[in-house]
């Protein structure tokens, strides 16, 4: 069996993949374009583990909703207008994928991934502070609560527990924080953690296991032979391997082009603000449903995150979109004011978003020793452990236990 694995990308998916491979006896090398002290989407995200998220981003109604939101500079969704053939092609594929039949096919796959990943977090054997108290989908409007009730019914039918709560029951389940809502849906299987702490613990364990890291190293090209990869050429020299895993986030698409693979991807920029001394600290993580803002307590701090801004790989900060998060926080949590966020520097990161809302996960037919694990969008942290397990199973020629057909890395050609 080939035992030398080269992993391209040291985000949370890459690190979880490295952990699974190293624990199974593989010699693992990880290459990443950024320095070890990172600010990518694995670091500043909402830290949620969410089996509740079984509906892909490309769903019926999202195109119309996205077009409506585009005219509001503080809305949860924005596409920066630009003449970009890749964006146009991505948009057409998104529109084609946003059908009821495709969502119904994807839901059980995302359910399986989400529940298995939760098990992986719980059994990882590392101390990173996983909080298993569930998630609240907070609704300020009765119409939204009714819509979320339908989602809760679908979740229960899929075996994902969900409970619809009125305002009083919502307050009772998280009495540490004051909420201005008419009700919520509670998903008790969801969890949360601090991404920074999780990544630090992962890296420490990987170093202990002998994993080799190449930080600040750009992938330039590949040395190939017939239908196999032999080595990767980088800005710091050549790295040979017997198996390769591509999980470089939004930059995976560019790397794939060098291998004559098509991984349509857009960078979905998200923002977060972390209050180290919040006026109130909830016990549960939550999502402000109408505003699409995530709220997560993290080791005494409180993080508010949101927005989906398709702006290529531009990592600049749009202050109006950050302001939208702040305004939402004060509407749902009246004990907070905009002045609480004064001086808080916003974080931003680029999530790798596929056109159909499903990850790219599995083998490639063009290259027999290459696997792809990217395109998880907002679900990167949540699905990272199960992704690593599936990759390691595939390396060992084992059945993954998950239907991978909708995640075929070559489904777009």
Residue 413 within a domain: no
Instruction: Give dist(CA 22, CA 4) in Å, integer.
Output: 10
Contacts of 313-318 with CB under 8 Å at 24 or more apart are 313/250, 313/251, 313/267, 313/350, 314/80, 314/267, 314/269, 315/269, 315/348, 315/350, 317/271, 317/346, 317/348, 318/73, 318/78
Q: With beta carbons less than 8 A apart as the criterion, state whether 298 and 274 touch.
A: yes
For residue 114, which of 413, 407, 402, 412 has the smallest C-alpha distance?
Answer: 402
Within this chain, do residues 396 and 258 fall inside the same structural domain, yes or no?
yes
Q: With beta carbons less than 8 A apart as the criterion, state whether 245 and 7 touch.
A: yes
Within this chain, do residues 179 and 288 fall inside the same structural domain, yes or no?
yes
Instruction: Give dist(CA 369, CA 218) in Å, integer.
Output: 21
For residue 49, which of 124, 146, 99 has the smallest C-alpha distance?
Answer: 124
User: How high is the mean pLDDT in each 10-residue block of the chain (413 residues)?
Assistant: 87 97 98 79 88 92 73 74 85 92 96 97 96 98 97 98 98 97 98 96 97 96 94 96 96 95 94 96 97 96 92 83 94 98 94 96 96 96 98 93 95 91
Within this chain, do residues 210 and 333 fall inside the same structural domain, yes or no?
no
Within this chain, do residues 61 and 148 fall inside the same structural domain, yes or no?
yes
What six digits make up the tokens of 334?
């009246």
- In angstroms and rounded to an integer, the radius of gyration of the C-alpha atoms of the chain is 21
Q: With beta carbons less than 8 A apart as the criterion, state whether 222 and 238 touch.
A: no
Residue 229 within a domain: yes
Summarised one tens digit per residue, pLDDT across range 155-202 is 999 999 999 999 999 999 999 999 999 999 999 999 999 999 999 999
Q: With beta carbons less than 8 A apart as the criterion, state whether 131 and 121 touch.
A: no
Within this chain, do residues 335 and 385 fall inside the same structural domain, yes or no?
no
Residue 75 within a domain: yes
- Counting beta carbons within 10 angstroms of the beta carbon of residue 262, is it exposed (0 to 12), middle (13 to 18) or buried (19 or more)? middle
What are the E-state strand segments in 156-292?
163-166, 183-187, 191-192, 212-214, 219-225, 228-234, 237-240, 243-246, 266-275, 285-288
Residue 412 within a domain: no
Beginning with the edge strand found earlier in the chain, give each strand of the sheet holding 237-240 in spatial order. 219-225, 228-234, 237-240
Query: Which SS3 state, helix, strand or coil, does residue 113 take?
Result: helix
Within this chain, do residues 57 and 185 fall inside the same structural domain, yes or no?
yes
- Predicted confidence at residue 68, as pLDDT, reads 72
- Predicted confidence at residue 37, as pLDDT, reads 65
C-alpha 111: how far from chain center: 15
Total domains in the fold of the chain: 2
Instruction: Give dist(CA 46, CA 135) in Å, integer.
Output: 12
Q: Which domain holds residue 16?
A: 4-42+197-263+356-407
Within this chain, do residues 288 and 249 fall inside the same structural domain, yes or no?
no
Instruction: Give dist(CA 152, CA 146) in Å, integer.
Output: 10
Instruction: Give dist(CA 261, CA 367) in Å, integer.
Output: 10
- Predicted confidence at residue 400, as pLDDT, reads 85
Torsion sign (Cα): 159, 356, 384, 325: negative
Within this chain, do residues 243 and 273 fall inside the same structural domain, yes or no?
no
**What is the b/e burial string over 179-199, where b = at least 16 CB atoms within 10 angstroms of the residue's CB?**
bebebbbbbbbbbbbbbbebb
Summarised one tens digit per residue, pLDDT across range 269-318 is 999 999 999 999 999 999 999 999 999 999 999 999 998 888 778 888 88
Question: Within 74-163, where are the H helices?
Answer: 85-97, 100-122, 142-157
């Amino acid at each position: 069996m080939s035992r030398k694995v080269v992993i391209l990308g040291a985000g949370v998916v890459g690190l979880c993949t490295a952990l699974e491979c190293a624990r199974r006896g593989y010699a693992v090398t990880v290459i990443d374009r950024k320095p070890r002290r990172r600010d990518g989407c694995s670091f500043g995200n909402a830290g949620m583990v969410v089996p509740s998220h079984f509906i892909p981003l490309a769903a019926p109604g999202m195109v119309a909703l996205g077009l409506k939101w585009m005219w509001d500079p503080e809305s949860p969704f924005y596409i920066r207008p630009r003449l970009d053939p890749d964006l146009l092609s991505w948009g057409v594929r998104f529109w084609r994928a946003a059908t009821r039949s495709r969502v119904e096919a994807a839901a059980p796959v995302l359910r399986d991934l989400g529940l298995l990943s939760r098990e992986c977090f719980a059994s990882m054997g590392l101390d990173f502070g996983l909080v298993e108290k569930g998630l609240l989908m907070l609704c300020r409007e009765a119409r939204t609560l009714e819509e979320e009730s339908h989602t809760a019914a679908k979740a229960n039918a899929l075996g994902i527990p969900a409970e619809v709560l009125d305002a009083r029951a919502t307050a009772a389940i998280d009495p540490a924080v004051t909420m201005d809502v008419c009700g919520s849906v509670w998903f008790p299987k969801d969890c949360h953690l601090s991404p920074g702490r999780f990544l630090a613990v992962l890296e420490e364990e990987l170093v202990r296991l002998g994993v080799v890291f190449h930080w600040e190293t750009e992938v330039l090209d590949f040395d190939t032979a017939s239908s196999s990869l032999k080595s990767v050429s980088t800005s710091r020299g050549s790295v040979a391997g017997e198996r390769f895993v591509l999980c470089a986030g939004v930059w995976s698409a560019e790397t794939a082009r060098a291998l004559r693979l098509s991984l349509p991807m857009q960078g979905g920029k998200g923002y977060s603000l972390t209050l180290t001394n919040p006026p109130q600290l909830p016990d549960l993580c939550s999502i402000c449903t109408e505003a699409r803002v995530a709220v997560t307590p993290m080791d005494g701090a409180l993080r508010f995150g949101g927005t989906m801004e398709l702006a290529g790989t531009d990592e600049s900060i749009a202050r109006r979109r950050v302001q939208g998060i702040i305004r939402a926080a004060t509407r749902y949590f009246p004990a907070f004011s905009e002045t609480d966020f004064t001086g808080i520097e916003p974080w931003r990161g680029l999530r790798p978003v596929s056109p159909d809302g499903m990850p790219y996960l599995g083998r490639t037919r063009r290259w027999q020793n290459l696997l792809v694990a990217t395109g998880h969008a907002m679900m990167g942290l949540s699905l990272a452990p199960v992704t690593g397990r599936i990759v390691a199973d595939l390396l060992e020629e084992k059945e993954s236990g998950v239907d991978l057909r909708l995640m075929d890395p070559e489904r777009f050609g």
